[in-house]
């Protein structure tokens, strides 16, 4: 039997930060806009209201000068299989720019601040936003949070090693190897957006309803890691110091983050190895 779904009501304002994308700001529309904004970026398949704790976060921040925005991207819901991190952070930058302009207009001379909060794979968006280009090519933010950052590559490999009730590990690995080969051929032939067979991606644990481009599959699976990690492979436990220097270690020099970075691993996250966060701290030089 399907899980019983129940309605939920939230007060807030829907902001259109671009022609086809929006962000929902929690809070009464009758209140004067708060000067500071926390932009929440969900993980794979997330969308408006799909992360339960966001309403509690917004409630907790009610007495403060911060409001919470749930940001919808082209990759939200089932769009994540066809969209790159570069596209995500371009849209996040547009949202940051919109929110800063909106809050400045509503709050007059009161200084405004914006912080980004990524949840699960949304943490990859936030880190990519901070290190991949320099200011002023991207709007600056005053703070950033990585909440429950995960390695999609290690998650996938764990599924392959374990197998499932119907298919042994060896057979799943053959399916995976075939997908890697096909995706690499497509990218080499300038067909990076070619969609991989849904029946095959579903067999290795990916959502059977999500079309997956060759480029995004390779980015998430990053089959040549840890020696040659691709853009989505940011939090794997076997990444070397060189990769950490390119990502966490580049944040300060890029000038996008004006304040501090907070990393909050999930309390019972089986994908984060004990002590793994220390390597991120070393790579970030303690920001």
| Domain boundaries defined on the chain | 12-150+238-284, 153-221
CATH superfamily, with its number, for domain 12-150+238-284: Alpha/Beta hydrolase fold, catalytic domain (3.40.50.1820)
Q: How confident is the model at residue 1 (pLDDT cuts 50, 70, 90)?
A: very low
- The tens digit of pLDDT for each residue in 121-131 reads 999 999 999 99
The reported pLDDT for the residue numbered 8 is 77
pTM above 0.85, yes or no: yes
Is the pLDDT at 222 greater than 60? The verdict is yes
Neighbour count for residue 204 (Cβ, 10 Å)? 19
Residue 284 pLDDT exceeds 70: no
Which pLDDT value is given to residue 28? 78
Task: State the average pLDDT over residues 18-35.
Answer: 89
Neighbours of 35 (CB within 10 A): 17
Tens-digit pLDDT profile for residues 162-174: 987 778 999 999 9
Res. 270: pLDDT tops 60: no
């Amino acid at each position: 039997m399907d899980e019983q779904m129940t309605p939920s009501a939230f007060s807030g304002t829907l902001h259109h930060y671009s022609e086809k994308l929006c962000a929902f700001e929690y809070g009464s529309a009758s209140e004067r806009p708060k000067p500071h904004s926390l932009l929440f970026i969900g993980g794979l398949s997330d969308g408006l209201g799909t992360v339960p704790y966001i309403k509690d976060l917004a409630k907790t921040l009610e007495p403060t000068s911060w409001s919470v925005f749930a940001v919808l991207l082209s990759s939200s819901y089932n769009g994540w299989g066809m969209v790159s991190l570069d596209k995500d952070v371009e849209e996040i930058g547009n949202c940051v720019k919109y929110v800063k302009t909106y809050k400045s207009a509503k709050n007059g001379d009161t200084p405004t601040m914006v912080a980004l909060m990524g949840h699960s794979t949304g943490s990859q968006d936030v880190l990519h936003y901070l290190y991949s280009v320099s200011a002023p090519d991207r709007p600056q933010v005053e703070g950033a949070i990585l909440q429950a950052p995960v390695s999609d590559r290690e998650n996938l490999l764990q599924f392959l090693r374990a197998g499932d009730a119907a298919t042994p590990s060896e057979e799943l690995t053959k399916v995976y190897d075939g997908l890697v080969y096909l995706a690499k051929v497509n990218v080499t032939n300038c067909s990076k957006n070619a969609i991989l067979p849904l029946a095959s991606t579903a067999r290795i644990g990916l959502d059977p309803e999500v079309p997956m481009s060759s480029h995004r599959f390779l980015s998430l699976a990053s089959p040549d890691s840890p020696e040659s990690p691709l853009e989505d492979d940011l939090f794997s436990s076997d990444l070397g110091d060189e990769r950490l220097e390119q990502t966490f270690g580049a944040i300060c020099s890029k000038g996008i983050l004006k304040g501090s970075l907070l990393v909050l691993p999930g309390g019972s996250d089986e994908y984060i190895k004990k002590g793994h966060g220390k390597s991120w701290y070393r790579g970030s030089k303690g920001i």
